[in-house]
Copies of this chain bind each other. A is one copy, B any other.
Amino acid sequence: MAPPKASLTARERARAELTREIKKEARRQLAGTGADGLSLRAVARELGMVSSALYRYFPSKDDLLTALIIDAYDAVGERVEAAIAAVPEEPPPDGPGRTVTAGREDATLGAVRERWLAGCRAVRTWARAHPHEYALIYGSPVPGYQAPESTIGPAVRVPFALIRVLRDGAARGLPPADGGTAGNGSATGNADLGELADQAVAIAALVTETDPGNPLPPDVAVRAVIAWTQLFGMVSFELFGQFANSFDPADALFDYAAGQMMSFVLGKQSGTGK
């Protein structure tokens, strides 16, 4: 798997660079045209090439699209992973201001919380900086385009990163959801998860196949999926204009929502108390 040569030939370097240039220009044009309005001819024109030359780099327009999609997924994925990694898994052991008894548990919970929120914010920050790439991967499907399997790996980086935050918390003794006490009007308990529990466990297993043990409780996993859909629902509404005239700077709403959903995932009361 090591590169066959220490240094690339001039031809290989030129090819790599032009490939990057083509994708960059295509990305730039995405803004004005949308995914299926993207034009190979226009990209070539802007790069000072003849349109047929692009076919040396991408065998068809769909292949260029696929490359852009993979790059976009990898870009958000990388940002989210980095944002999470930047928050320590646990605060320094002898930090001040914690009671002795419940301190350890609170600290783990707080760390999980901060890492989760950092991941959510990274999604929104990237999306606002690259709205057209966001639309490419999370917006309506491009008509006539079928994403190949090679997009799946990059696509799951964000959800996997978020689930890993919860898994890491579980590995450090984060107690399972304590939501069993306060009942509510309808039957939505763990016992009613049914097939949902299986689906959630299967996903959690995928995420952690290199790190078995400490499985995420099914109800937490399912609520994490719900929070994941909320995160992207809110970002999509903000970017796609559903908030026009209401939550126009959506910053406050986003932060509040992310915090509330984190509490929801952990089974904590979504309350009004401090």
A interface residues, Cβ below 8 angstroms from B: 32-37, 106, 109-110, 113, 135-136, 138-144, 147, 152, 155, 177, 179-196, 199, 202-203, 219, 222-223, 225-226, 229-234, 236-237, 240-242, 244-247, 252-253, 256-257, 259-264, 266-274
**What residue of chain B has the Cβ atom nearest to residue A270's Cβ?**
B264
User: Which B residues touch A34, using CB under 8 A?
Assistant: 36, 140, 142-143
Determine the chain B residues whose CB is within 8 A of the CB of A147 once the complex forms: 241
Q: Which residues of B contact A233 (CB under 8 A)?
A: 229-234, 236
Assembled-state Cα–Cα distance A241/B139 (Å): 10
In whole angstroms, how far apart are the Cα atoms of A111 and B187 in the complex? 15
Cβ-defined contact, A223 with B143, below 8 A: no
A192 to B255, CA, bound (A): 11
Most chain B CB neighbours (cut-off 10 Å) among A203, A252, A256, A263: A256
With A33-B143, A34-B140, A240-B140 as contacts: A271 and B260 at CB distance below 8 Å: no
Q: What would be 16 A-B contacts, judged by CB atoms less than 8 Å apart? A: A139-B139, A152-B245, A177-B271, A179-B271, A179-B273, A182-B273, A184-B266, A184-B269, A186-B259, A189-B274, A190-B272, A193-B252, A199-B246, A222-B253, A226-B257, A267-B271
